[in-house]
Amino acid sequence: MEKNKVISLKAKPNQILKFLKIIKENQGQIEIIKEELHKYLLKESLRGKREKRNSVYAIALPSLKKLDLIEGRGDKIKLNTNGELLYNTFTNKGITEYKRLFTKFLFLIDRENCNILEIFTNIKEENIGFEKLIEKLIEKEVNTSQKDDKIKRWLKYLEYVDFIEIVNHDLKINKFQINSVLNEKRDVEKKLFSKVLIEGYKKLKILNKGGAFIKIPSLRKKVCQNLQEFNFTTFDFDDYLRNIWLTYKGIIDDKQIILSKPGAREGKGIKINNYYYYYISIY
């Protein structure tokens, strides 16, 4: 890959897994692959319109190739080693482990291209404006600009795996998530997780003016920051919370966890047994 270059991806990050499944399940049958990719992207389109050739040759296949997940052409198109690894990880271990592995792939791709994550780790602040980021990329001789859609689409991939949070024109940096890729994970005992979870909840409850229910994304970030010495990621948080909810019926240290659904669809909550939760209370 060419250094100091912004990778151009037209597919959305949450579409990649479906692309992998379509190619894996229809390997050797390019016409069926093209038809299924088109049908999926047509369904995903906000306008309900999508030209077949554009779906296949401008969005799906180029994105998979640039992410180094497929190889071959025509009827010989198939998942390469990376693609197989991602697909098998999802099939055998589920979406959390899939995203954990995808995180590592995206980290390496970013490092071999524009290396935005290096900028994030080298600044003292925990957030950076979009315009400031572009200035720093240009200083590194990256070919980009304030109007560059490629960089905006790549940032969406970094947000998908929780490296950042995009709020209007500001990027909130989760340095603990970036550092976790660089360092070996250390085990966190359930007792320690419970302690940090409860402490984090109490602090956020105060900021919430005493409101009993706080946002799960806020607590997730608080806990991960306090456990960053263990290279604890957002995916680990979801695993631990899900386990407490299912195995211990939400009970930790004689306290009861209550999870609540959002009034409207909010992002970055947690899905447990096909139920989606966005708020948490501990009493």
Task: Give the helix/strand (H/E) hosting 257.
Answer: strand 255-260
User: Quick one: which of 193, 196, 205 has its CA closest to 236?
Assistant: 193
Longest dimension (CA), the chain: 60
pLDDT score at 27: 96
Q: What is the pTM of this model?
A: 0.89
Residue 94: beta bridge partners?
A: none
pLDDT of residue 193: 97
Can you tell me whether residue 165 is helix, strand or coil? strand
Tell me the average confidence (pLDDT) per consecutive run of 10 residues in the chain, 283 residues long.
78 98 97 96 82 93 97 95 97 93 96 94 94 95 92 97 93 95 88 97 92 95 95 94 95 95 87 94 96
Instruction: Return phi, psi of residue 143, to 5°.
Output: -80, 95
Q: What ranges in the chain are assigned the alpha helix state H?
A: 16-25, 30-44, 52-54, 61-66, 81-93, 95-112, 116-122, 130-139, 149-160, 175-182, 190-207, 216-226, 234-247
Which residue type does 190 have?
A: K
The conformation of residue 10, written as its DSSP 8-state character, comes to: -
Query: What is the structure's pLDDT at 50?
Result: 79
Q: Which residues contact 136 (CB under 8 A, 6 or more apart)?
A: 119, 128
Q: What is the pLDDT of residue 249?
A: 94
Rounded CA separation 219/197 (Å): 8
